[in-house]
Amino acid sequence: MMDHKENQDSLTSNLANIARRCLFGVLSMGPIPDHIAFIMDGNRRYSRRLKLEEGAGHKIGFTALMSMLKYCYELEVKYITVYAFSIDNFKRSPEEVKFLMELIQEKIEVLLKKDSIVNQYGVRVHFIGDLRLLDDSVRLAAEKAMAATAGNSKAVLSICIAYTSTNEIVNAVQQSCEEKWDELRILDSCGAAYGLTDYTGNGHTTEKTQ
């Protein structure tokens, strides 16, 4: 009786997969966007509305995200961005932040498995944000995932974590200034900086000793 039920479930699953692939085949005949973004928001509200245990909404949200990623990759969407955890989320209770960090680390490690969705579809994983703000274990897992998938080239999954738009702008400006300053130092060593490296930033210039 059990074998009959398992066979029936397997047949149903196979038929569903075939139907999904047929549907996606039809959809792919039309214009498919190159880039789709998902904002991971509302998990707590969903959990509270259904009176689920603490953290259940986040786990359900991740499961839903994995399904959507699979559908997107089957439709050959090239770029996907997931807004997962902003810097503002650190203002939540220490218990919730700890739970989320552990959940994020767990899900990153899932991506590293040989049969994971990123390896099945040749997806390169890229993390965006100030990773220095994360727990060491989460940061190391993120770095490991980026290194492990660096050779994948069919699609790109960008995961925004420990980010805000303001922080990203500040970091981008700071990085740009540092790069320009390095270029000026090189020019100065060749005598071609025209004294620009003497500028201290406070309205005065420093005098070089002869």
- What are the catalytic residues? 41
Radius of gyration of the CA atoms of the chain, in A? 24
Separation between Cα atoms, residue 56 and residue 46, nearest integer Å: 9
Beta bridge partners of 205: 199
Separation between Cα atoms, residue 188 and residue 193, nearest integer Å: 5
Q: Residues 23, 71: contact at Cβ < 8 Å?
A: no
Phi, psi of 76, deg, nearest 5: 65, 40
Phi, psi of 104, deg, nearest 5: -60, -45
